[in-house]
Amino acid sequence: MQLNSSLKQSKRLSLTTELNPEDGDTDQEAVEAPSTRPSLSSTGEGASVYIGQRSNSLAFQKSEELQKTFLNHQHDRQLIILQDFPDPDALSCAWTYQLIAQQYDIKCEIIYAGTLSHQENIALVKLTGLPAQRWTLQSLKSKDLSCYQGFVLIDNQGTTSQLLASVQQAGIPLIAVIDHHSLQAELKSEFVDVRPYVRATATIFTQYLQAGLLTLDSSIGQHVKCATALMHGLRSDTNRLMQAQEDDFMAAAYLSRFYDAQLLNAILQANRSKRVMDVIERSLKNRIVQNNFSIAGVGYLRYDDRDAIPQAADFLVTEENVHTAVVYGIVHDEDDELEVVIGSLRTTKLTLDPDEFIKEAFGQDSTGRFFGGGRTSAGGFEIPMGFLSGSNENPTYAKMKWEVYDSQIKQKLLRLVNPQDNPIQSE
Ligand SMILES: [Mn+2]
């Protein structure tokens, strides 16, 4: 069959020069693969067969570029920085990067500053043994950053990580940015692969795998778990493939040969905590619906429950006559040292660009940095509370503070929701 032959062809492709083509389909290939540096075919024909028609040449070209970057940094130690609250897309891709980099004797640590909040993310990390570590700003002070020769941003561009500033201050160079969010700012990076039209970074990474940067082998447990994680990342960023496009489906089809369906099911079965349910309840109670927008402030919530906000937005957008939901609240850590307004947007309206909407609604801070952004069908924002942080033991103050933020966010959102009754005629 034609499909089979193209698969075979591309399987060989990944190992072309190092192995005898005769051995291409034996187990030896698989055993040797992890220790053998992959080499990409110069023609790229095989890979293009099943990377998909639209972006195959770009995917292949980027894979080659990335391979060169790895070659330039053999034996280095790198940090992979994820957003403060990493999602399955980010986690799975970081792991894939780490596994690819291993072949070049590059040791990577996957770090994030916030917490794993969504029950599915906790299950993902626990069940697959995904090697991500939490580095708080506090613990960063005791780290010796001089042993790292580079850092990498995956599924983010540094705007959603508290760790970025310290790592930059330590003089560590940015080696790679691989993301599918709209370009946030010009980043000085050796390798850049930012594709906003791709629905998941997991799709980009699966294309790297297909192009031969790492040969997956179903007899290697770690590979199966990583493929499962990628499948989860891909599904969760495409609303269970409902918003997936050709590239994403092609990537999922490839992963389907390696992933563990039972393991994925176990990850998806993780239950919501009672506190998350309570936040969703509050969002239902507090929501206002105008012009098909559902807007809900949920008050204060603990840092660990932060992911209840996107989950509440996911839920509110399912109401009839609602195409877009925005949910926000004040998230604080145990000692109230860190307080930040966090919000999530979900939309099913094709013509609404979440990135534009959020940038337009909330604008920039004094340094010119936007408070948030988005990708297809989803977006988020974070507004640091700075001087107003803390003192919540005084209930009157805490209530007043919430009311001020709540009304200001509503005003900014409603300005876009009902442009005609804009009370502030500033522009
Ligand atoms: Mn993503």
Domain ranges of the chain: 2-268, 274-421
- Give yes or no for residue 20 having a pLDDT over 70: no
Ligand 1 centre to CA of 118 (Å) is 15
Instruction: For residues 164-168, give the mean pLDDT.
Output: 93
Residue 48's pLDDT is 42
- pLDDT tens digits, residue range 295-327? 999 999 988 888 899 999 999 999 999 999 999
Distance CA 174, CA 149 (A): 9
Q: How many other CB atoms sit within 10 Å of the CB of residue 271?
A: 10
What CATH topology corresponds to 274-421? Diaminopimelate Epimerase; Chain A, domain 1 (3.10.310)
Distance CA 192, CA 361 (A): 28
- Give yes or no for residue 28 having a pLDDT over 70: no
Q: Distance of alpha carbon 21 from its chain centroid, rounded?
A: 37
Contacts (Cβ under 8 Å, ≥6 apart) of 130: 91, 92, 95, 110, 124, 225, 229
Q: Distance of alpha carbon 170 from its chain centroid, rounded?
A: 25
Quick check: 342 and 362 in contact, CB under 8 A?
no
Ligand 1 centre to CA of 237 (Å) is 6
- Give yes or no for residue 343 having a pLDDT over 80: yes
DSSP string, 39-100: ---SS-HHHHHHH-TTTHHHHHHHHHHHHHHHHHTTT-EEEEE--SS--HHHHHHHHHHHHH
Q: Indicate the average pLDDT of the chain.
A: 85
Instruction: For residues 34-47, give the mean pLDDT.
Output: 46
Ligand 1 centre to CA of 128 (Å) is 19
Ligand 1 centre to CA of 262 (Å) is 23
Q: Distance of alpha carbon 203 from its chain centroid, rounded?
A: 12
Ligand 1 centre to CA of 186 (Å) is 19
Reading the block at residue 69, the tokens are 């970057």
Ligand 1 centre to CA of 155 (Å) is 5
Where residue 336 falls among pLDDT bands split at 50, 70, 90?
Answer: low
Quick check: 132 and 114 in contact, CB under 8 A?
no
Ligand 1 centre to CA of 393 (Å) is 37
Where residue 396 falls among pLDDT bands split at 50, 70, 90?
Answer: very high
Helices (H) and strands (E) in the chain, counts: 16, 12
Ligand 1 centre to CA of 376 (Å) is 10
Considering only residues 233 and 390, tell me which one the structure prediction assigns the higher pLDDT.
233
Ligand 1 centre to CA of 139 (Å) is 26
Ligand 1 centre to CA of 335 (Å) is 30
Ligand 1 centre to CA of 130 (Å) is 17
Where residue 421 falls among pLDDT bands split at 50, 70, 90?
Answer: low
Distance CA 15, CA 43 (A): 13
Side chain identity, residue 320: E
Q: How many other CB atoms sit within 10 Å of the CB of residue 147?
A: 10
Ligand 1 centre to CA of 5 (Å) is 32
Q: Is the dihedral of CA 311, 313, 316, 321 positive or negative?
A: negative
Residue 166's pLDDT is 93
Class of 2-268 in CATH: alpha beta
Residue 262's pLDDT is 93
User: Do 2-268 and 274-421 come out as alike in CATH topology?
Assistant: no
**Residue with the two structure tokens 């599918």:** 180
Residue 112's pLDDT is 96
Ligand 1 centre to CA of 39 (Å) is 27
- pLDDT tens digits, residue range 57-79? 899 999 999 999 999 999 999 99
Q: Which of 199-213, 238-252, 326-340 has the lowest mean pLDDT?
A: 326-340
Percent of the chain with pLDDT over 70: 85
Residue 99's pLDDT is 98
pTM: 0.74
Where residue 38 falls among pLDDT bands split at 50, 70, 90?
Answer: low
Ligand 1 centre to CA of 94 (Å) is 11
Residue 344's pLDDT is 95
Instruction: For residues 222-236, give the mean pLDDT.
Output: 97
- Give yes or no for residue 425 having a pLDDT over 60: no
Ligand 1 centre to CA of 89 (Å) is 5
Residue 80's pLDDT is 98
Closest listed residue to residue 32, CA positions, set 40, 43, 20: 20
Ligand 1 centre to CA of 55 (Å) is 18
Distance CA 119, CA 350 (A): 29
